[in-house]
Amino acid sequence: MADLRFNNFSFFLVLFASLLVATSCRGYSRNALFIFGGSWNDVGNNNYMESAIKANFLPYGETFFKNATGRASNGRLVPDFIAGFAKLPLIPPYLSPGNSEFTNGLNFASAGAGALTETNVGMTIGLKTQLSFFKYTKKHLNVKLGEAKTKTLLSRALYMFSIGSSDYITFATHKTTEHPSYTREEYVKTVIGNLTDAIQEIHSMGGRKFGFSNLGDVGCSPFLRALNEAKNINGSGCMDEVTVLAELHNKALAKALKKLERKLEGFKYSNFDLFAASKERIDNPSKYGFQEGKVACCGTGPYKGNLTGCCPKTVCDNVNDYLFFDGVHPTEKANYQYAKLMWSGRADKVKPYNLKTLLKKI
């Protein structure tokens, strides 16, 4: 009888301990995901703005969601796949009504947003405003969880950034009117400066793990190829000015991140070479399972690059054949490939850590 009582007591001790562990795991031991940037990361924030660049109509979202969610693709975006790899639910847009559960993270990204406040002003949520939303989120978490648990959650979280393309497209296409006095290098320095200011502010609030995509070869997107052709500019077919700016940005970003790593205590990062990955797929689509790397699936005009021309009547028959869904944005298939490289890619594509390794860092 004594042995039976002891065994029962031991059983309840083990059960109680397992419940404590389970409660801890349900709490804040997972990595939350906080997402910043432009249309490549926007999962629907612009739906809730009066005047905005939107993708809230079909055929956007049709392949996976069966309806338009505000994502500028036929289905999921890179952050959606990263959330899945990290065993998190889809991270909701910050502006979505009724958001009260922030412990898995939030998405602050807005289509058209730049690192500069003046980029697409009035039509989007710039980086500075996205950062103010994050500050409010931290205050909310402090109230809900207490400061100690919030500190743990924020230190373990991943902060994802994909921003800058809109800044450089604006600079290249409106240079003479809106940015007449900047050299390329000065403009890149300003963009990188705003981005690093945001990173440092998040770090001061407890953020330690950051995931970046550098800029893709956006100058060779269908939209800018079409615009280049309309301006009768000779050359590669791409808008070379934007490609040059993207390359300058990417070099400056890599240097800035190394500098921040030396400067900021506990700062760790992952930097995905989207430029190389996108260029490889534009130049050699069949190698990656696509039939077309230069023409969009949905749109009108040369290269189907007209961004306002995507509608159910102008969508392609087989979206999986295409790298680009519309004039700028990748298909869900391409987004999955980019996300997979970010998550578990080798050092020639993502460095110094991929996201899977980064999230294991304390």
Cis status, amide bond into 93, omega within 30 of 0: no
End-to-end CA distance of the chain: 47
Tokens 């070379």 sit on residue: 240
**Using CA atoms, how far apart are residues 68 and 47, in angstroms rounded to an integer?**
10
Catalytic residue among 110, 317, 329, 348: 329
**Using CA atoms, how far apart are residues 216 and 238, in angstroms rounded to an integer?**
13
What would you report as the CA-atom Rg of the chain, rounded to the nearest whole angstrom?
Answer: 22
**Using CA atoms, how far apart are residues 35 and 18, in angstroms rounded to an integer?**
33
- The answer to whether 111 touches 72, Cβ cutoff 8 Å, is yes
**Using CA atoms, how far apart are residues 45 and 57, in angstroms rounded to an integer?**
14
**Using CA atoms, how far apart are residues 99 and 91, in angstroms rounded to an integer?**
11
| 181 has catalytic annotation | no
Catalytic residue among 3, 18, 39, 165: 39
195-200's contacts with Cβ under 8 Å and 24+ in sequence apart are 195/115, 195/127, 195/161, 195/163, 195/164, 195/253, 195/256, 196/256, 196/260, 198/36, 198/115, 198/127, 198/128, 198/131, 199/159, 199/161, 199/260, 200/260, 200/264
| 80 has catalytic annotation | no
Interhelix angle 332-344/78-85, nearest 10 degrees: 50
Using DSSP, state whether 101 is helix, strand or coil: coil
| 326 has catalytic annotation | yes
Catalytic residue among 221, 326, 344, 348: 326
- The answer to whether 341 touches 330, Cβ cutoff 8 Å, is no
**What tokens appear for 66 in the block?**
């069966």
**Using CA atoms, how far apart are residues 33 and 86, in angstroms rounded to an integer?**
9
> Which residues are known to be catalytic?
39, 326, 329
